[in-house]
Amino acid sequence: MPTASSVVADLIDLGVGRAQRTFAAAKLWSREGRGFTVEPPERVRSRFYLRLLVADRPGVLADITRILADEEISISSLVQHESAGESGGPVPLVVVTHSAPTGRFRKAIERINKLSTTAAPAVFFSMGD
């Protein structure tokens, strides 16, 4: 609750025009302040959570990890459960990556979604850095 209260108070200060006074310690408006730059979205780095539904066949995991490797995306953890039904049927595959540029991750997702062994579009989200 204290954090939420602080966030709301800061948003109110922004809304009523008191931002310069409220955020003076950040030196956003001073000449001696270092300022900041905004990176293009494709260069922003993040860890990613990726959930896939893939065929339970030999080589599928190799194809996915090869695509990630081609985009220089390192895997932090990977979980694939055994198929509940027939062999070769779709199984969930969950991958968590190390920090990677968003643009490269999105390129990898485009390629993964085109694989014939991917049963559904990838579900993913940024986990921050």
Mean pLDDT of the chain, nearest integer? 86
The per-residue pLDDT for 5 is 84
Better-scored residue on pLDDT, 128 or 64: 64
**β partners of residue 54:** 91, 118
pLDDT tens sequence across 27-41: 665 666 566 677 888
Determine the Cα–Cα distance for residues 30 and 19; give it in Å rounded to an integer: 13
The per-residue pLDDT for 36 is 65
Type and span of the H or E element at 115: none
- Token pair of 35 as six digits: 């300022």
**β partners of residue 96:** 49, 77
Determine the Cα–Cα distance for residues 72 and 100; give it in Å rounded to an integer: 8
Asked if 103 and 41 count as a contact pair (C-beta separation under 8 A), the reply is yes
Phi, psi for 38 (deg, rounded to 5): -105, 120
Give me the helices (H) in the chain, please: 2-16, 19-22, 60-70, 102-113
22 pLDDT band (50/70/90 cuts)? low
Q: What domains lie within the chain, and their CATH numbers?
A: 1-36 (no CATH), 41-126 (3.30.70.260)
The per-residue pLDDT for 106 is 97
21 pLDDT band (50/70/90 cuts)? low
Better-scored residue on pLDDT, 24 or 80: 80
pTM for the predicted model, two decimal places: 0.70
